[in-house]
Structure 1
Amino acid sequence: GNITINSAAIALLENSLINASAFQGAGGNIQITLQGIFLSPDSGITASSQLGVDGMVQINDSLLDPSSGLNQLPQDVTDQTDQIVAGCTADANSQFMITGRGGLPEDPTAIIRGQTIWQDLQDFSPEATVSNSDSTSYSLVAAEPIPPDPVVEATGWIVNQQGYVELVAHVPRENFSVAYGCNLSNKGIGNGE
């Protein structure tokens, strides 16, 4: 048979299945019209037939704008090979890889994909009161704000005692050294200049 679902949202969790299957003949068709769907990896929507033609699954998302995830690309592409300056000679097994553009979308109206966004709706204002089942009210007292430490821009890097690279505001002179194979005319590499 055919399945038609009109809903604001559907959640298929923990091995849930919407299935329109047939043994002989054409499989059923599934048509779903909604505003949002939440589907766990072990759940699914199928329209199949064991001996005939499989059915069709059609999902209509009324809020989905197909062009919303598209960014305008530049017409003239630049050659990126001149953006990387040849540096010091590398030790064996060293690699430098450019992995692409990550982070936030360029367009503030674009959808952030693959991240969960938390919005806390609690009122933390000093005037807010909390009541429990005994009808006892407690007033919240706002704590004195602690000013944050000022942000200082990193101008160099050092290797700390654990062997990790650490960005620092000022490089101590005892940590400055020139690696074998580096030209001293390369300013700004590791010394904060």
Structure 2
Amino acid sequence: MRSSRWAPIAGWCAATATSIVLASVALLPVLRTSSPEDAALAQLPAADSTSFPAPLPKVSASATPSVTPTTRRPPPATTKATTTPPRSTPPTSTTPKPPAATTTPPTTTEDGWTVTTAGDGTRTYVRSFRVEGGQAVIKMTSDGVVSLVTATPADGYSVQKVQDSPDNMAVYFNESQHSFIIHATWHNDRPFVQVSEVGS
């Protein structure tokens, strides 16, 4: 009786095993056929172990000098700095200035006149004259020009200048019915001044 119970189960297991074997035999030709993707991959060249990863680009020896000129450019700047000190040498140009100081006209005194001689040889005579009616400063030059520098009248007096030519001038200090006259002229290559009083 026990063997009759297990008989259907054993038959089912045998049938199942048979169907599995038959299915695997039927699928074997299909599994042996390669897929299109596998065929495409098979056509690609085999990767060289030395070409992947791609090597970095090499720096050529000619590229390295392009860096060195930039590092060598500062030295020319230092040479320019060394050339600037010669520019600061113009202290030699200051040496001609002392001769300029010597070109200042020398001053002398002649008959009460202060005489200055210019570089071109022209002499200038300056003198102050004081009278009771006031004070006048007169200037004459060796080229025959007489001029009035200042004229200051005393209290109660007025001043008047009369000049009919460049080498002849008179300065009047006037009060009522009374005058002091300073007459200046260039005569015989010398200054000449005459002081007079008119009225009372």
Q: Which structure has the highest helix share of the two?
A: 2
TM-score scaled to structure 1, two decimals? 0.17
Q: Which structure has the highest strand share of the two?
A: 2
TM-score scaled to structure 2, two decimals? 0.17
- Which structure has the bigger radius of gyration? 2
